[in-house]
Structure 1
Amino acid sequence: MTKLTQTQLDQAARLSVAPMMDWTDRHCRYLHRLMSREALLYTEMVTAAALVHGDAPRLLAHDPVEHPVAVQLGGSDAGLLAEASAIAAQAGYDEVNLNCGCPSDRVQSGAFGAILMTRASQVANCVRAMQDAVEVPVTVKCRIGVDEQDPHAVLPDFLDHLAGAGVRRVTIHARKAWLQGLSPKENRDVPPLDYDLVMAMKDRFPDMHISVNGGIGSLEQAQAFLDAGLDGVMIGRAAYHTPTAILLDADARIFGTDHATTAEAVVQAMVPYIDAHLAAGGRLHQITRHMLGMFQGRPGARAWRRHLSVEAPKDGAGSQTVLDALSHLGQVAA
């Protein structure tokens, strides 16, 4: 694949699908790419140590159709992150993103994720090492602060350090992360959103490409942020649970390009991919679990979900199972 330019990646980042653990695997990304040719896609977070010391080819496996696609790394050791970045770039990823926003206990104990909001100088050193190791862009995803920090003081200082290290693109989840007292799930909902602070960061750092993340559930909301002056919008759970509502119209509405398709056409286009996955020893439900919300709000959507949930995990289930599920569309489930 031809290397994408910074300008092309910045354009793709007008709308991106957030890295989500256990969700945005390669099957999910392939599905999403069939709906939008333009949006920037992200892997699940993978730790730098896992890439350097583990099965990197398996962890970084992706289909060429996924581009533009970024890998998100977790870590806080500059040397490991640099080595992992080089491995990811060599594997063909268009961008390397450093996770400074995940609040789970597991990543805190590994000294990465949201806890890095308290270590701006260390983060700057990490991204410098990562940039020295690769030619692709190195970006950062962060929160507005953690625990008792004052976001209005912490976030500008954090971005100052990133800018000084040469980071050009940042995605800000517009919530604090509470490292004690809230679960990772609660950290996605309970801390209040502060979109105004993210907007203020664009005024303060006009040369930095800034995307907002957190609580965004529609293309209308995404477009409003772009119209207000932000450079990009990252959508997470809404893009996963109702992918067609977010991604089918994204190319026309957000990017101004013509890529008209339908949910039914996307399902049909998944058949060869499913067949290849099964031929390689995979299971149908590894793919169809990402397809359950494709017809949300339409007659027959419940029957579609039920058919896939029941039939796809069975031994011998194949692409015909998915085509059979399509027959429920247009029918109102009892």
Structure 2
Amino acid sequence: MLVTRNFAKCLVQSTINMTARSYQVSVMGGASEIGQIISFMLRTEPSVTSLVVHDMRENTPGIVLDLSHIPVNSRLMGFCGHSTIERALKDSDLVLFVGGVIKSPTLTNEAWFETNTAFIKNIAARVGKMAQMPFIGIVTEPINVLVPMAAEIMRCHGAFDPKKLFGITTIDWIRAQTLYATEHKMPPKTCFVPVIGGHSEKTIIPLLSHSRPTTNMKDPEIMQFTRKIQECDDIVSQAKQGLSSTMSIAYSVVMFAREIFRALDGQRVKVNAYVENNDFGTSYFSGLVNVDKDGMKSMQRFTKISQYECNLLEKATEQLRKDVARGKKILEVA
């Protein structure tokens, strides 16, 4: 009887330990359009027992108040302004950079780029001063340029682990999945289309040669499908009359976060991300990345790709080298 009781006690304790795993997430730029959607979704995520929302916008307290009315058993904290960045980052397991501004017809490319660069510089410098680097996911565009820049800033400030820095490109993967399923009248969950390269119109490469289930797409169809994936942002923006595709991107960010939580739980997972990787002719590359509790491991390789995909890869690699160089060139650490 004693053995049974001890076994039952251990079983209960084990169950408590398994269900008690919880994580703090900081959403930096959480009052932005996409930041609000991400914060809302994470507010109800079971693994998130502490959600931190930070932004420079004056309406940040109102966003946090709105989120506080959602009846969940998790802690919610809000911070506003430059002086509170360190407090917003403290003790977080995952930090999401989602701030800056979204491209719009009323905003010049120069203003868009300068605003988003300033946002990344500011937050990355504070992360670099942390005693231990958390997992970092960057959503702010242009990812191809800003992820390498963030890495150099963190290196300059001391605390940097390249295995924990990710440009979140999950949106490219789920777009390829859903459009492929629509094209062939299949359930989306049964389809898989790997996407490699980078995260811009010139660098996104859907590998239809490795898609599942396999189909007999002709060359013109493959080229048309590829262009559709590469131009998705513009297509959605035109359909929304100048607004960005915030909802699908927010969903993809939460998908990424869920996988990171599983990795922190001790599981081996895969995420689609743009990371530091020297195996493809450039120092940063996007693809399916293996991740565990310590961060990034290896990136999945795809052999026997088509000649068309080889040509795309060659051009994408050339562009990625320019993007990475641009990110490092504009680096100015105050």
TM-score, scaled relative to structure 1? 0.32
TM-score, scaled relative to structure 2? 0.32
Counting strand residues as a fraction of each chain, which structure ranks higher?
2
Largest Rg, 1 or 2: 2
